[in-house]
Chain A
Amino acid sequence: MENKAPQQRRDSATPREAIRIENVTKRFGAQLAVDDVSLEIQQGEFFSLLGPSGCGKTTTLRMLAGFEVPTEGRIMLEGEPVEDVPPYKRDVNMVFQSYALFEHLDIADNVAFGLKRRKVPKDEISRRVTEALELVNLSERSSARANELSGGQKQRVALARALVNRPKVLLLDEPLGALDLKLRRQMQVELKAIQREVGITFVYVTHDQEEALSMSDRIAVMNAGRVAQCGPPEEVYEHPSEEFVAGFIGISNLISATAEDGGQVRIANGLRLPVPLPDGVAPGDPVNLSVRPEKIAVDELEPGMVSLEGTIVSRVYLGVSTQITVSLGDGANLVALEQATYRARADDRWEPGTKITLGWHPEHCLVLR
């Protein structure tokens, strides 16, 4: 693939906008699928739409592709309004969840399909198809039929078929959803490497939070047709803007509490904890605390940590870590992860019923309203 032009775009000092979604709403009859969504996606960015099924992420992607027309709002592709442009005239390409390969054509003809529609000269088609198949490591299979390939290979063909057109934006609709876990991990790494190589903007729809975190430059977490939070993976994970985001990405460990004076909250069992209280929270306001399981220390507390007593309810051995659920009394349960490191301690200490001490640094406790 020729990647010079997009690379230059990527390296330029001011990032340019690939896609701007302005106040887009989509209704199917009475059902509100996408509710006043606004997003800006920069050129060369790996952007993920993350959310549970029915959150509107796929509908948003389909509006970018042109398969759905927004009920309200605008969609700009590199500054041009495209919401009324049909898919075949839009300079974007899509990788479908079901791969959607053309089974009556061989692999090379599948990849060449888009170039042929655009009347690209024959010798250029064959050169670009060869390059695209090399990019996805499928050069030897160019004369195979779609139904002779494995799931992972089909996925690569679908990717090559879209990328060969050098679209302004590549849309991916849960492309790895049908693959088994090991292959999915491998394809995640490859996809990210290919994206870096070609420099094309990727808009990636997934419900898999780990996938979104590991691959994306930025993530928009969607819920019930809205964008709940949009930001880099670290920000979305470490500083979720609301309960939904905290709960959807990772285990949120919510504890309900009441705000008090002096940067403290009081939890149900009466214990007062120091927390970073955000502005605008008045004493007496109900808040939710969230502590990520991996931020919780069990028994071996460091200086400066808050300290809570609890009883182990259950223990799940996960290989690299052990997940324990601790009851604080009054119905509040917290999940803690103990990594199986070189200094891992004897397992028998985590038997259900054991009384233990939990702790965390106050700054690791998020306050959600």
Chain B
Amino acid sequence: MSPSAFDKPRFLRVFSFLVYLFLFVPILVVILFSFNTIKSLNVFHGWSLQWYQEFLDDPSLRESLFASLEIAFATMVVSTVIGTALAIGLVRSRAGWAPGANILMLVPLVVPEIVTGISALLIFSQIGIALSIWTVIIAHITFSISYVTIVVRARMAAISQEVEEAAMDLGATRWQSVRLVLVPALWPSVVAAALLVFAFSFDDFVLSFFTTGEDLQPLPVRIWSAIRFGLSPTINAIGTLMMVVSLTAIAIAVVLPRLFGRRESGLKVLTAGEG
């Protein structure tokens, strides 16, 4: 075997190519067929925007899209604030229960979403809250706080407590040291966490399914209801649009910190430094 064969194994390139193919072909198919001229889901006939037109012309689908955007936005704002505060508190706490609380943060991530969904439904019906867009938001927030806390906590743990002490030593009150030093240092991870949560909430189905009311459904639930009456290429158009929304959220997480002159992008935070 020549040394170069060891340096550049062809096998790895082929393997990587296949993995990416496996990952992206279904997505590309959805995008391609969203532009199809005919109703077929397996024959591509030509390019058109008719399925997008159909989606936009359907008032109930449009309502669902806006409902999903509202849910995702409200979830993002509330869970980012609570999750960030929690991350700061958990990392800095000298209390004995802090390590236990840290482990508890992981529970919402490993509990099957269907369990979370059913328990949320049970709680809402027990205390007599009518299911609506608000119950979806509450359920999404409880679930998203963990994500925010975990992402922000990783960054928080890397910031020496001495940095906050230095701020206080230089005349900043405790609150000023958080605002002037800690928040700017945490900022990339907060933005990354917020947009991650936005993307999760926007395309969440299981939790939304159990907690939504009848009349106004989030888009993924609305799609699911629609599919029961037969597949339409409109689904592809909606899927493509949802993908665009999610990718935009991620793109902002990557680009925004760079625009503000930060070395570290949100992508780096999300992928733990490998971005």
- Interchain nearest-CB distance for A244 vs B (Å): 29
Report the tally of A-B residue pairs with Cβ distances under 8 A: 68
Q: Which of A78-123 contact B (CB under 8 A)?
A: 86-88, 92-94, 96-98, 100-104, 113-114, 117-118
Contact of B169 with A by CB under 8 A: yes
Number of interface residues of B (CB under 8 A): 20
Q: Which of B165, B167, B176 contacts A102 (CB 8 A)?
A: B167
Decide: B263 and A88 in contact? CB cutoff 8 A: no
Q: Which residues of B contact A (CB under 8 A)?
A: 160, 162-163, 165-173, 176, 180-181, 184-185, 187, 262-263
Given contacts A67-B165, A104-B184, contact A114 B160 (CB under 8 A): no
Decide: A161 and B163 in contact? CB cutoff 8 A: no
Decide: B184 and A161 in contact? CB cutoff 8 A: no
What 8 additional pairs, Cβ within 8 angstroms, besides A93-B169, A117-B171? A67-B168, A88-B169, A98-B162, A100-B166, A102-B181, A113-B180, A145-B263, A161-B170
Task: List, in ascending order, chain B residues with CB within 8 A of A104's CB.
Answer: 181, 184-185, 187, 262
Chain A residue, CB-CB nearest to B166: A100
Q: Provide the bound-state CA to CA distance between A212 and B160, in Å.
A: 26
- Interchain nearest-CB distance for B192 vs A (Å): 16
Q: Provide the bound-state CA to CA distance between A113 and B168, in Å.
A: 10
Contact with B along A150-170 (1 / 0, CB 8 A): 000000000001100100000
Q: Which of A94, A97, A103, A113 contacts B185 (CB 8 A)?
A: A103
Task: List, in ascending order, chain A residues with CB within 8 A of B184's CB.
Answer: 102, 104
Task: List, in ascending order, chain B residues with CB within 8 A of A103's CB.
Answer: 185
Chain A residue, CB-CB nearest to B263: A147
Q: Provide the bound-state CA to CA distance between A96 and B162, in Å.
A: 7
Overall SS of chain B's interface? helix
Contact of A366 with B by CB under 8 A: no
Decide: A114 and B171 in contact? CB cutoff 8 A: yes
A-B contact pairs, 22 of them (CB 8 A): A67-B168, A86-B173, A87-B165, A87-B169, A88-B168, A88-B171, A92-B169, A93-B169, A93-B170, A98-B162, A100-B160, A100-B162, A104-B187, A113-B170, A113-B180, A117-B170, A117-B171, A118-B171, A161-B166, A162-B169, A162-B170, A165-B171
Contact of A277 with B by CB under 8 A: no
Number of interface residues of A (CB under 8 A): 26
Task: List, in ascending order, chain B residues with CB within 8 A of A147's CB.
Answer: 263
- Interchain nearest-CB distance for A221 vs B (Å): 25
Q: Which of B162, B166, B172, B263 has the most CB of A within 10 A?
A: B166
Contact of A65 with B by CB under 8 A: yes
Task: List, in ascending order, chain A residues with CB within 8 A of B176's CB.
Answer: 88, 117
Task: List, in ascending order, chain A residues with CB within 8 A of B160's CB.
Answer: 98, 100
Q: Which of B171, B172, B176, B263 has the most CB of A within 10 A?
A: B171
Q: Provide the bound-state CA to CA distance between A165 and B167, in Å.
A: 13
Q: Which of A65, A67, A104 has the most CB of B within 10 A?
A: A104
Q: Which of B168, B181, B262 contacts A87 (CB 8 A)?
A: B168
Decide: B163 and A165 in contact? CB cutoff 8 A: no
Q: Provide the bound-state CA to CA distance between A87 and B176, in Å.
A: 13
Q: Provide the bound-state CA to CA distance between A324 and B170, in Å.
A: 50
Task: List, in ascending order, chain A residues with CB within 8 A of B167's CB.
Answer: 102, 113
Q: Provide the bound-state CA to CA distance between A118 and B169, in Å.
A: 12
Q: Provide the bound-state CA to CA distance between A147 and B163, in Å.
A: 14
Chain A residue, CB-CB nearest to B164: A100
Decide: B165 and A96 in contact? CB cutoff 8 A: yes
Q: Provide the bound-state CA to CA distance between A226 and B181, in Å.
A: 35
- Interchain nearest-CB distance for B98 vs A (Å): 15
- Interchain nearest-CB distance for B184 vs A (Å): 4
Decide: A102 and B171 in contact? CB cutoff 8 A: no
Decide: B165 and A97 in contact? CB cutoff 8 A: no
Decide: A102 and B163 in contact? CB cutoff 8 A: yes
Chain A residue, CB-CB nearest to B188: A104
Task: List, in ascending order, chain B residues with CB within 8 A of A145's CB.
Answer: 263
Q: Which of B165, B168, B169, B181 has the most CB of A within 10 A?
A: B169
Chain B residue, CB-CB nearest to A89: B171
Given contacts A103-B185, A117-B176, contact A97 B162 (CB under 8 A): yes
Given contacts A100-B162, A100-B163, A104-B184, contact A94 B171 (CB under 8 A): no
Closest 6 CB pairs of A and B: A117-B171, A114-B170, A100-B162, A100-B166, A104-B184, A96-B162
Q: Which of B162, B181, B262 has the most CB of A within 10 A?
A: B162
Decide: A86 and B162 in contact? CB cutoff 8 A: no
Q: Provide the bound-state CA to CA distance between A145 and B261, in Å.
A: 11
Chain B residue, CB-CB nearest to A118: B171
Q: Which of A34-74 contact B (CB under 8 A)?
A: 65-67
- Interchain nearest-CB distance for A105 vs B (Å): 8
Q: Provide the bound-state CA to CA distance between A96 and B167, in Å.
A: 11
- Interchain nearest-CB distance for A9 vs B (Å): 23
Task: List, in ascending order, chain A residues with CB within 8 A of B169's CB.
Answer: 65-66, 87-88, 92-94, 162
